[in-house]
Amino acid sequence: MARHLITSAIPYINGVKHLGNLVGSQLPADLYARYLRARGHEVLLLCATDEHGTPAELAAKKAGKPVAEYCAEMWQVQNDLAQGFRLSFDHFGRSSSPQNHRLTQAFAKALDEAGLIREVSETQMYSPTDGRYLPDRYIEGTCPNCGFESARGDQCDNCTKQLDPVDLINPRSVISGATDLEMRETKHLYLRQSTMKDELEKWIDTREGWPVLTTSIAKKWLTDGDGLQDRGITRDLDWGIPVQRGDEPWPGMEGKVFYVWFDAPIEYIACAQEWVDAGKGDDWQRWWRTDAGADDVRYTQFMGKDNVPFHTLSFPATILGSAEPWKLVDYIKSFNYLNYDGGQFSTSRGRGVFMDNALEILPADYWRWWLLSHAPENSDAEFTWENFQTSVNKDLADVLGNFASRVTKFCRSKFGEAVPEGGTPGEIEERLIADLTAKLREYETHMEAIEIRKAAAALRAAWVLGNEYLQEAAPWSTFKTDPEQAAMQIRLALNLIRLYAIVSQPFIPDASAQLREAMATDDAWPEDVPAALQTLKPGHAFTVPDVTFRKITDAEREDWQARFSGTRA
């Protein structure tokens, strides 16, 4: 069995995330990790909160709290929501951790010693109204590339163009809205990415099977305009990791902090150190250091497309530039955007479903199934309430939930709450087993390739096979003339429930646990389908599960559609 290191893009600390954020990184990372664990692989799944930079300062200011206090509170909120969605992180860390402070400063020292950091005197936006320099995310304006009117000073969220605040048209302060901005001189450190262009391009070319979305964004940044540019890695902020060379002061950089996009990816490594320090693991280096055993680790990252440039270029430049034996990513699974009901999710306007509200109205599995089966892999996707209702009612309630209910209730009424004996499988059972084996192998192939929508479709098709078998075999009719044959049909169907519970676990873990408990069985993956369908022997006791999935009514759909249309307080 292989060892798999998996990281999800770490979410900003500023507030509860919406479903588009969830499906863009954390949820598919959890799906993949759950699948690999179920197949017997050793997995380390890491995530954290991204706590530095402008978003944290602005959110804390709005909340009227010291930024450290605000971040601690929001980490707990995000951690609780992650658990609510059954995200199986081995550790959920914090980029403000002492481990990340030390590691970020150590990387900066190594890069400086390698000649990859230069000091730059530059002019920077200063706001007399606010009485401070304005880092890039404190400034918004019109993107010179696409005309988007709410582009940030570091990047346009609409076209993903990398920007500097001076590039913006009609820039304004995010803090006060002031437009009387002026340029003043300051000093900052820059990572000399441009000198590593050829090395980075060669490294990207060695990555096998990356999604077109990932490689196209990376190549675009390498070749557009003047090619890969050096990147500022410090900011004039109060909150962040102080600029130091390891544990030594950095002359001229007093009062400055490292740029959030420099320290945030380093938190992936620091998170593993936090995992060990929390007593959850005993050796982080075997996952991250190639001189300590990480050579045989396969490292997969999950992220939205807006994060791709930093993970394909800036973070690898940091790793490669340090000249130290750190593990580099093997595969980056990137996602397009999930839009909401004819528009975009909006955190500021409360438009769309946010993670906390989602769990208030329905259990996690309902959301997990829809989001993963509609994951925006090859293009942007759209959440609509009509589609959500249809998917839940047909896929979960009608196909899977109804199958489990019909089989267990019929068995209880005719044979009692134990697996019945008797009967001999025939042609339709052989056909079912052959079709089911093919569909499960297809499911496994898609899961291993991280083709999430295709995997969901194959899984649903496997559920459908059970329903089709039940309709063809018709044990309720068979029972009238041949009770023993009906017993065989129901015995096979009970084993199907067990099999479905196991293979569906990565998508719908709570329903899986409920059905496995009802069947009083283990969770061994069905490597051999014929053998798996004989696991529950005659006499094995089971219970009739409660309703696994209920249907969403039209009234509920209409109410939720109005509730989340953009009036969130």
What three-state secondary structure class fits 181?
coil
Residue 347, pLDDT > 80, answer: no
Identify the three-state secondary structure at position 382. Answer: strand
Q: Which sequence spans correspond to the domains of the chain?
A: 383-532
Residue 47, annotated as binding a ligand: no
> In percent, how much of the chain has pLDDT > 70?
99
CA-CA distance, 252 to 295, in Å (whole number)? 39
- Smallest CA-to-CA distance from 155 within 377, 264, 375, 305 is with 305
Contacts (Cβ under 8 Å, ≥6 apart) of 415: 487, 490
Distance (Å, rounded) from C-alpha 326 to C-alpha 312? Answer: 15
Residue 398 has pLDDT above 80, yes or no: yes
CA distance 165 to 358: 36
Strand pairing category for 169-173 and 139-142? antiparallel
Tokens at 386, concatenated: 């009509």
271 annotated as ligand-binding: no
pLDDT value at residue 569: 43
End-to-end CA distance of the chain: 49
Question: Has 390 been labeled as part of a binding site?
Answer: no
- What pLDDT, on the 0 to 100 scale, is given for residue 157? 83
**What's the farthest any 2 CA atoms get from each other in the chain?**
92
- CATH number of the 383-532 domain: 1.10.730.10
How many other C-beta atoms can be found within 10 angstroms of the C-beta atom of residue 556? 14
* Token code pair at residue 37: 């664990």
Q: How far apart are CA 472 and CA 478, in angstroms?
A: 11
Backbone φ, ψ for residue 394 (5° rounding): -85, -50
- Asked if 29 contacts 302 with a C-beta cutoff of 8 angstroms, the reply is yes
Task: State the pLDDT at residue 568.
Answer: 44
Can you read off the two tokens belonging to residue 212? 């077109």
Question: Mean pLDDT score of the chain, rounded to an integer?
Answer: 95
The b/e string for 181-201 (b: 16+ C-beta within 10 A; e otherwise) is beeeebebbbbbbeebbeebb
Secondary element (H or E) of residue 235: strand 234-235
Environment class of 342 (CB within 10 Å of its CB; exposed 0-12, middle 13-18, buried 19+): exposed
Rounded CA separation 256/507 (Å)? 44
- What is the per-residue pLDDT for 293? 95
- Is 146 part of any known ligand binding site? yes
The model's pLDDT over 221-259, given as tens digits with 9 standing for 90+, comes to 988 867 789 999 999 888 999 999 999 999 999 999 999
Phi and psi of 127, rounded to 5°?
A: -110, 105
Q: pLDDT of 466-516, one tens digit each?
A: 999 999 999 999 999 999 999 999 999 999 999 999 999 999 999 999 999
